[in-house]
Amino acid sequence: MALSRLIGSRLRDQRQGRGLLQSDVAARAGMSASYLNLIEHNRRRVSAQGLTRLAEVLGCTPDDLSGPDETGLTQDLRDGAIGTSAEIDRIDEFVLRFPGWAQAMAQLAGRVALAERTVAALNDRLDHDPYLSHTLHDLLSALSAVRSTAAILVETPDIEADWQARFYRNLHDDSERMARGAEALTAYLDGFEGGEAAQVGTPHEELDRWLAAQGWHLAGLEEGALDAVLADAETLQSTAARSMARAVVLRAAADVAALPMAQMQAAIGEFGPDPLRIAARLGADTLAVFRRIATLPGSVLGLVICDASGGLVFRKPAAGFAIPRFGASCPLWPLFTALRRPMTAVEQQVAVTGRAGPSRYLLRAYAQPVRPTHFGAPDMCDAAMLIQPVTTVPSDARQPFAVGTTCRICVQVDCEARREPSVLMGQKSGPVLGF
């Protein structure tokens, strides 16, 4: 039997609870009162035979006295208390008297330590990531040149013509350089192209990486291998990510059962990736069709799903259309129009701000209430948005509507929906809503 370090404290509690004197108990157990006193203060270990005798005297079982082994718990608490004024010498008493609080404190200390390690890792990345460091340095250098040059042009009315021409040219070159730097930084910070940038993060990010590694298609489900896919989901690191992955797998399995691959491929062949037509033809749940279209093997369509709060619960990016890793997304996405008008089809062609090259997308969004499972269930609603890259644009096509990824890194000046300034533009990013 593993003997707890806190046997003495339990022994004292049992004895005092029965109103027995230390000397009486010691005598009946065949040991000296001074020795029992040392045991009760956890300064001497008691043998198995001694524990049995003491239990007999007290009318309890040896297990009542030995209890669980709290060595790990007390050590965790001790570690968590480093640098505080906690009464370390009374830690055993705390664990014995308040085991639930002690567990909670130890878990909290563990979480704080984990959070500190994560922050340190992120700081380390900011300091030592050569790509990030180089890009930021380049951006700040260009910004510095622009600021000094622009100030010279504004503050020197009698500037010589040749210098003026030279500074105008420099301004142009540096503004181009800043645009490239901002674009690179945007892609790095908020896109999934960042590679190693995604290695530290939330459970949601861990889930996203797991899905992305499989091309967002859980192939095993098509062959009925649900258990194998669930087992794979169990390999995720954090408990929260595993739990979220299980939910995603079970929902995907239901989608596969309702919308078999052959039916989906035939419907897409007939209608293209139009979720409403496919849902109507197959008599299927509309959001299930959204999910299925975006997660078929090799699908280039992105998909975001949000709950009634607008929080993104599923984030599959499309090439060039990044999804924010944290915080809220661009409020101009049709996803949120659909959320405000459930059961209404919302479709819009958009361009993503601050991106070079082709960036036109067809966004199709739809929201529907979540079917309640019982009376009194909360009133919930989910919205989904498919992100389809547009490769062929007719010459007479209308100008696409401009949307961003998230305000924090959006370069759209004077956006009426902006809720916070852009880190890329500072004060120039226009007024902020609601303040």
Partner 1 sequence: MEQQVLLIEDEPNIAEAIRYLLTRAGFGVRWLSNGDQALADILANRTDLVILDLMLPGQSGLDVLKSVRAVAALAALPVIMLTAKGQARDREAAEHAGASLFMAKPFSNAAFLAAVQDLVTQ
Minimum distance from CB of 109 to partner 1 (Å)?
Answer: 28
Look at residues 371, 209, 365 and name the one whose alpha carbon lies nearest to residue 290: 365
Minimum distance from CB of 404 to partner 1 (Å)?
Answer: 24
Q: At what angle do helices 130-155 and 99-128 cross, to 10 degrees?
A: 60
* C-beta closer to partner 1: residue 140 or 228: 140
* C-beta closer to partner 1: residue 145 or 365: 145
Look at residues 217, 283, 289, 293 and name the one whose alpha carbon lies nearest to residue 248: 217
Neighbouring-strand partners of residue 387: 302, 363
**Which amino acid is located at 267 in the chain?**
A
* C-beta closer to partner 1: residue 52 or 149: 149
Look at residues 113, 320, 118 and name the one whose alpha carbon lies nearest to residue 205: 118
Minimum distance from CB of 171 to partner 1 (Å)?
Answer: 9
* C-beta closer to partner 1: residue 44 or 180: 180
The residues of the shown chain that bind partner 1, judged by CB under 8 A, are 127, 133, 136-137, 140-141, 143-149, 151-152, 155-156, 163, 166-167, 170, 173-174
CB 306 within 8 A of CB 313: yes
255 φ/ψ angles, rounded to the nearest 5 degrees: -65, -40
d(CA 29, CA 20): 13
d(CA 123, CA 177): 26
- Under DSSP, is residue 385 helix (H, G, I), strand (E, B) or coil? strand
Minimum distance from CB of 105 to partner 1 (Å)?
Answer: 33
Question: How far, CA to CA in Å, does 197 sit from each of 121, 169, 264?
Answer: 11, 35, 35
Minimum distance from CB of 411 to partner 1 (Å)?
Answer: 18
d(CA 62, CA 406): 62
368 φ/ψ angles, rounded to the nearest 5 degrees: -150, 150
d(CA 22, CA 243): 52
Minimum distance from CB of 122 to partner 1 (Å)?
Answer: 14
* C-beta closer to partner 1: residue 149 or 263: 149
Minimum distance from CB of 79 to partner 1 (Å)?
Answer: 28
The CA-based angle 205-336-310, given to 5 degrees, is: 45
* C-beta closer to partner 1: residue 151 or 380: 151
d(CA 262, CA 260): 6
* C-beta closer to partner 1: residue 381 or 425: 425
Output Rg (C-alpha) for the chain, integer angstroms: 32
- Under DSSP, is residue 312 helix (H, G, I), strand (E, B) or coil? strand
Minimum distance from CB of 173 to partner 1 (Å)?
Answer: 7
* C-beta closer to partner 1: residue 45 or 137: 137
**Which amino acid is located at 332 in the chain?**
L
* C-beta closer to partner 1: residue 123 or 309: 123
Minimum distance from CB of 191 to partner 1 (Å)?
Answer: 24
